[in-house]
C-alpha cells in the first residue's frame, strides 16, 4: 500500500538534495522530499505549513550560516508536538561533541553523510526500511498559531 511519506531535508548543499531526491525516486518512492537550504528557509517552511507536515526530518547541523541545524532542532522541539517528528542529523563530521549535542537537543539519530551514490542508496534503503516499514510515526497536521505551531490532529 502506497502511503505518502513527506520528508524535510535541511541542508545547504544542493548536490545532497539532488542525490537524495534521485535515490529516493528509485528506492523510496513513497518519499517526497522538501528541501530547505538553511535555517531561515526551514523556519519559513514550518511557518507556512497548513497541512500534513513531514514525517521525518533529515538535518545537516553545519549550515554555514549564523543559525545552525542545532538552532532549528531546538526550535522544532520547542513546538507543541514537535517532539513527535523524528529528526535524523546528517553530518560530514564524526565529532563526538556534535553527536552528543544533537542528542541533547532531541535528535533521534546522528548519522554520517555518505559520499558515493551507492552509499546514499544504501542509506535511503535503510531509512525506508526502518522509518517507513518498521516503526509507526503518528500523522500530525499543523496550523500556525499566534505564538507556535498548533496541532490540528495527530
Per run of 10 residues, the mean pLDDT along the chain (length 154 residues) is: 85 95 96 94 79 85 90 90 89 91 96 95 97 88 52 40
Q: Domain spans of the chain? A: 5-153
- Tell me how far apart the alpha carbons of residues 40 and 116 are, in angstroms, rounded to a whole number: 28
Q: Does domain 5-153 have CATH number 3.40.50.2300?
A: yes
Give the per-residue pLDDT at 46.
79
Give every CB contact of residue 101 below 8 A, 6+ residues apart in sequence. Answer: 61, 70
Number of neighbouring beta carbons within 10 Å of residue 73: 24
pTM summary value = 0.88
Dist. CA 60–CA 117, nearest whole Å = 18
Residue 153 has what pLDDT?
A: 40
* Residue 149, pLDDT score: 47
> What residues contact residue 46 under an 8 Å CB cut-off, 6+ apart?
53, 75, 76, 79, 142, 149
Amino acid at each position: 500500500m502506497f502511503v505518502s511519506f513527506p520528508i524535510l531535508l535541511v541542508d545547504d548543499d544542493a548536490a545532497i538534495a539532488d542525490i537524495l531526491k534521485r535515490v529516493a525516486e528509485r528506492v523510496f518512492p513513497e518519499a517526497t522530499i522538501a528541501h530547505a537550504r538553511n535555517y531561515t528557509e526551514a523556519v519559513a517552511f514550518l511557518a507556512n505549513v497548513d497541512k500534513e507536515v513531514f514525517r521525518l526530518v533529515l538535518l545537516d547541523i553545519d549550515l554555514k550560516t549564523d543559525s545552525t541545524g542545532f538552532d532549528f532542532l531546538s526550535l522544532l522541539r520547542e513546538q507543541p508536538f514537535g517532539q513527535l517528528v523524528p529528526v535524523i542529523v546528517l553530518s560530514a563530521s564524526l565529532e563526538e561533541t556534535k553527536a552528543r549535542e544533537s542528542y541533547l537537543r532531541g535528535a533521534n539519530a546522528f548519522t554520517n553523510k555518505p559520499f558515493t551514490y551507492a552509499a546514499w542508496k544504501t542509506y535511503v534503503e535503510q531509512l525506508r526500511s526502518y522509518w517507513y516499514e518498521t516503526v509507526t510515526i503518528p500523522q500530525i497536521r499543523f496550523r500556525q498559531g499566534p505564538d507556535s505551531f498548533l496541532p490540528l490532529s495527530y
